[in-house]
Structure 1
């Protein structure tokens, strides 16, 4: 049994961060640290983690790492306490060798990440999401994700971070069939953060191509690189080849097409140059990691990719005309086909986005109606017929 006086000294040292007193007590009896407990069933590591004393927490962890698993009367181990208080340095110490204590669930199935959201600890949340991976997708016993909880606790910055993060589940429903946007719309729309939070959440229903574009940057680089290579090769070896020697009408190395079909060659050069430059723009933005969470950059990359593909298509069409004896194929016909194809793609994307928005609005209205009491609906019906 540890003497009450020694217990108090240990508690004071852990609470105040008195490293010298703590080391003296531990030198006298190294087994003291895992024999004492305090109010709310907390151990010394809980106390150090709660008060942000990194050095003492590190010494305790090195002496008795099993203290990380000790839970208090709220079911929280020292990792949970450090996360709740936002003590990032202590989290780094406690999770340096083993992430398992951070995986332990709390009351009603909540995780340490849910705890960060509830206590407004964005820095701790960012750190833990990077370290814990798939745990960021976990739901509690009510089916609520981190995004649901961030909306409930009116955490705009956290909603922004979660919306941008690729690991987090976003469009999922809780056990009541509600998304984060549904939860937001149930609240008063007169709060100062309502419109900002709604704007962030509505980005989740953007045209699917903008959301998917963030996931396919590697493929985008490959496609843009291929188009740039094709355009460069077409410039070096244009349709019809190049003159092999000088003459009175042309110079060696110049395109034969420039002399035989000058108007067609101008169109070919413009289309080929456009394809090359626009594909380089895509490569530049993706390679230097433009902030694709911002819609403007997504739109620039997306339309630059469309322009490069359309231009290389025109370039191919002109090459086809030059090398094919069929006279019915014209640049105008090829351009018309390309315009129709890309207009069709744009219409499909726009229609898909509109359908998503309509579905979201319908679902929110339906949920609101279902939440009304039966008597309230009867009174509304009575008012309408009168």
Structure 2
């Protein structure tokens, strides 16, 4: 059994890097480093790694490499301790003896890569990643990644290293559906938000599992802290497209069906107008006027004159052309990626629907018996008025909400 004095001397030797004293102690007892356990079940390698004494670590591991694999009471290996301290020399030595320790998790469910990232030890992180990238992909509490850990602790430089090394993992969400930008926004970390946005690592706002985007989280913040930082983050976020205000792909399919129907109706009405066409060239009397008509001309044009041209033909053509333009716009996929194009597609759809309804109204009034079908006119005017109010509300609500944000 090792005496208290020898144990204390070994601890001081490991802490201060006194290699000569260590060698003397080992000459007296070759099994000393294996038999002594310090507080929290740490061995001499834990202590030397904690104090940054690389020479002690190397000497002890030459005697017994197995000590690099021992865990303390917190399930931390010497590599965990060295990663936390940021000592590259010790990390390299431990990796040469026990590379599998990169995967081991302590009582906080973190491996050495997580610990190095959390503490901002960039060079140590690079050394660990050279051994293997895979431990860095291990998820933490509630599905957070090592990237979330960097943002949580404000380690921008470490985040840049990980982005360079791990690529697509930067877009991973945690169990709450939150990205790095959510976390950086919530903690008001301007530099990280700026890095994510300006380097286009994050290209759009993203709703989390509760449907909240980064901008909404920022606006709900009760204590924005530094007002200038808050405003700068807000301005950057507002430049990112908001997918909650874009045209969803499923909705786009429904809109496409409606537009195809409108285009078909307008095309059919254009080539076969209500009332039909004259079947031959002839002179005819309409009211008190004698007119000459040609085969294929719309009968409605002869009876309504310019009203047919400026109401039915114009609005029917608008419905047809705008429907085709909107169909082409949706087929490009732009409304699914941009709020501006999404709004434009909806405006075009309303315009084509309104135009085809006007041409329909004119047709119904024209073919309805009676000299003055005023009842129909009043009914259609009422419908258009109510529908117009609804469209105006829809179109105005979006820009007003955006200005408030």
**Corresponding position: 1:261 with 2:299:** no
Q: Distance in 1 between matches of 2:241 and 2:333?
A: 23
**Corresponding position: 1:182 with 2:220:** yes
Of residues 184, 197, 204, the one that matches 1:164 is: 204
> Offset of 1:357 from its aligned partner?
8.4
> Judging changes above 3 Å, is the alpha-carbon distance between structure 1 residues 103 and 238 closer, same or farther for their aligned structure 2 residues?
farther
Q: Which residue of 2 aligns with 1:346?
A: 392
Q: Which residue of 1 aligns with 2:148?
A: 114
Q: Distance in 1 between matches of 2:279 and 2:354?
A: 32
Larger Rg: 2
> Judging changes above 3 Å, is the alpha-carbon distance between structure 1 residues 253 and 338 closer, same or farther for their aligned structure 2 residues?
same
Name the SS of the counterpart of 1:325 in structure 2. Answer: coil
Matches within 5 A, 1:93-172: 102=137, 104-106=139-141, 110-112=144-146, 114-115=148-149, 117=151, 119=155, 121=159, 127-128=168-169, 135=174, 137-138=176-177, 146-151=181-186, 152-154=188-190, 155-156=193-194, 158=196, 164-165=204-205, 168-169=208-209, 172=212
CA contact (8 A) 1:278 1:304 kept: yes
Q: Which residue of 2 aligns with 1:316?
A: 360
Q: Which residue of 1 aligns with 2:271?
A: 236
CA contact (8 A) 2:246 2:342 kept: no
CA contact (8 A) 2:241 2:339 kept: no
> Judging changes above 3 Å, is the alpha-carbon distance between structure 1 residues 336 and 112 closer, same or farther for their aligned structure 2 residues?
farther
Which runs of no fewer than 5 residues in structure 2 stay unpaired?
Answer: 1-68, 71-76, 84-98, 284-291
Which runs of no fewer than 5 residues in structure 1 stay unpaired?
Answer: 1-34, 44-63, 361-386
Of residues 234, 249, 261, the one that matches 1:198 is: 234
CA contact (8 A) 1:234 1:272 kept: yes
CA contact (8 A) 2:275 2:298 kept: yes
Q: Which residue of 1 aligns with 2:52?
A: none
Name the SS of the counterpart of 1:183 in structure 2. Answer: coil
CA contact (8 A) 1:113 1:136 kept: no
Q: Which residue of 2 aligns with 1:276?
A: 320
Name the SS of the counterpart of 2:182 in structure 1. Answer: helix
> Offset of 1:75 from its aligned partner?
0.9
CA contact (8 A) 2:266 2:319 kept: yes
CA contact (8 A) 1:290 1:297 kept: yes
Would you say how many aligned residue pairs link Structure 1 and Structure 2? 289
> Judging changes above 3 Å, is the alpha-carbon distance between structure 1 residues 173 and 198 closer, same or farther for their aligned structure 2 residues?
closer
* TM-score (normalizing by structure 1): 0.55
